[in-house]
Amino acid sequence: MKYIVVLCDGMADLPCPELNGKTPMELARKPNMDALAKSGEVGLARTVPGGMSPGSDVANLSVMGYDPAVCYTGRSPLEAVGMGVDLADDDLALRCNLVTLSDEDDYNKKTMVDYSGGDISTREAARLISAVGQAFEGGEFQFYPGVSYRHCLVWRGYGGPDVGELTPPHDISGRVVGEYLGGGAAAPLIYMMRRSADILRDHPVNLARIKKGLHPANSIWLWGQGFRPRLDNFEEKTGLKGAAVSAVDLLSGIGKCAGMRVCKPEGATGYIDTRFDNKVRAVLDFFDSGVDYVYLHIEAPDECGHRGEALNKVRSIELIDERVIGPLLGGMGKFGHFRMLVLPDHPTPLVTGNHLADPVPYILYDSEFYVDSGVPSFTEATAAATGMLIDPGHELLGRMLEN
C-alpha cells in the first residue's frame, strides 16, 4: 500500500463577492478532485485545536498525524531545521520576513504594504539579509538567508522570558504597524526591525527595484518565535517510510524533525508559477525508491488568498487538479493499491487575507475501494453536508492508515 497526501495550503475559503458569492473551490474547474470526491470519503477535519493560532505550522502538524497541543514549539524553529540551521535547546528562532513598509519617517506610522517584499527574488534577498546581518551579527544574533522573502534569525542562548506576541505580517496587510510592535523582552527585536528600515532604505538592491517600478524590501519583520522542536519519528510511529515534498522551509523542517526524507524540487517557488511537474516527479521518485508515504505540500492557494488574488486562487486550484492530481492518479497505477488524501491545512479567505481555524474539507480516496459518496463536487459546502467531522484533526492520519 502506498499513501499520498496532497496538501493544498489555504485552499478553503468563504463566499467571495468578487467571485459572485462563490468560493474558489466552487468556481474552479477541477474534474479530478470532483471524481475522487464522488468515489471516496468526503468530510471535514478540524486541523487547528481550540485556542491555537491557525498557522500552517499547527495545521500541517495535525494533518501529518502530530497533536500540535503536545508537540508545537513555534513556527520558526521548524523552518530553521528545514534550512539546515543547527539549534541548541536554548536558541530562540524567529521568522524574518523582508517586507515593504510605507515611507513615513516614524516607524510606528508606517503601513504594511507587502508582507513579501514585492515577491523579492532569492538572489536579491540574500544581499539584503547580508546587509542586515552585518549590522547586528557577531554576538548573540545570527541571520540565515532563505527563499524569497522568508528568512531566519536565531537568538543564540536566549534565556529570558517569553518575548510576547509577534504578529505575522500577512495578518496586518494594509494596516499601520505601530500597534503591532511588542515591548518588554521583545525590545531588542523591535529595535532591529526599526534599524533595518534605515539600513535597507537606500540599499542598491532596493534602489534598483524602485527604478523598475517594484516594491522595495525595506524592512525586516520578526515573528513566529520558538525553540527547537521534537517530534516522534514518523517511521517508528506508523511503520511507514515517509517523505515530504515542498517549496517552503516550514514543511521541510517538519519532515526532517519527523525523520522523513525531504525534497525541494527545482523550480518550486511556493506560488502559482511553481513547477508542478517537478513536484509530481519528486513524489513518484520517492515511491520508486521504496518510500511508503509522501506528503506533498503546495503553497500557491495560500499565497493567492493572502494577496487577495481571487482569479489567481481559482487558477491555482485548477492547476493543482490538472498538473498534480491528474498526473499522480496516472502515475500511481504502477504501485498497485494506494490511498490519496486531498485537503487544505486551513482556510485563507480572500475577503480577509488571514487564516481561519475553521474545519477544512477533505477527500480520502482508496484506489481499490470505490464508494458512491453522493458528493457531486469537492467544495467546502458539500464536505460539510456529509456530516463527517474528524476532530481532532491529527486523527485523520489514523483514518487514512486503518485497514
Residue 43 sits in a domain whose CATH number is 3.40.720.10
Is 82 within the bounds of a domain? no
- Asked whether residue 180 is domain-assigned, the answer is yes
- What is the mean predicted confidence (pLDDT) over 103-130? 96
Report, as an integer, the average pLDDT of 219-237: 94
Mean pLDDT for 58-67 is 98
**117 pLDDT higher than 90:** yes
pLDDT tens-digit map of 78-94: 999 999 999 998 999 99
| 138, pLDDT greater than 80 | no
For residues 215-225, average pLDDT: 97
On whether the CB atoms of residues 272 and 312 are closer than 8 A, the answer is yes
Query: How confident is the model over 309-328, as a mean pLDDT?
Result: 98
Q: Within a domain: residue 169?
A: yes
Instruction: Indicate whether this model's pTM tops 0.85.
Output: yes
Distance, in Å, from the CA atom of 5 to the CA atom of 156, rounded to the nearest integer, reads 36
pLDDT band at 228 (very low <50, low <70, confident <90, very high): confident
Pick from 186-190, 227-231, 344-348, 396-400: least confident: 227-231
Residues 338 and 353 in one domain: yes
Task: Name, in order, each residue with C-beta under 8 angstroms of 186's C-beta and a sequence gap of 6 or more.
Answer: 163, 164, 166
Confidence bin at 403 (pLDDT 50/70/90):
confident
Angle among Cα 232, 238, 244 to the nearest 5 degrees reads 75
Asked if 241 and 269 touch (Cβ cutoff 8 Å), the reply is no
What's the rounded mean pLDDT across residues 168-185?
93
Considering its fold, how many domains does the chain have in total?
2
Task: Report the percent of the chain where pLDDT is more than 90.
Answer: 93
Residue 59 domain-assigned (yes or no) = yes
Amino acid identity, position 221:
W
> Residue 332 above 90 pLDDT?
yes
Domain that holds residue 187: 92-226
Which of 187, 205, 226 finishes a domain?
226
Residue 66 lies in a domain: yes
Report the chain's mean pLDDT, rounded to a whole number: 96
CA dist., res. 351 & res. 354, Å (int): 9
Please identify, among 226, 261, 294, the residue that sits at the C-terminal boundary of a domain. 226
Mean pLDDT of 229-233: 91
Let me know if residue 262 belongs to a domain: yes
The three grid cell numbers given for residue 227, joined into one nine-digit string:
525553540
Q: Tens digits of per-residue pLDDT, 234-286?
A: 999 999 999 999 999 999 999 999 999 999 999 998 899 999 999 999 999 99
Kindly state whether residue 56 falls inside one of the protein's structural domains.
Answer: yes
What does the pLDDT average to over 356-360?
98
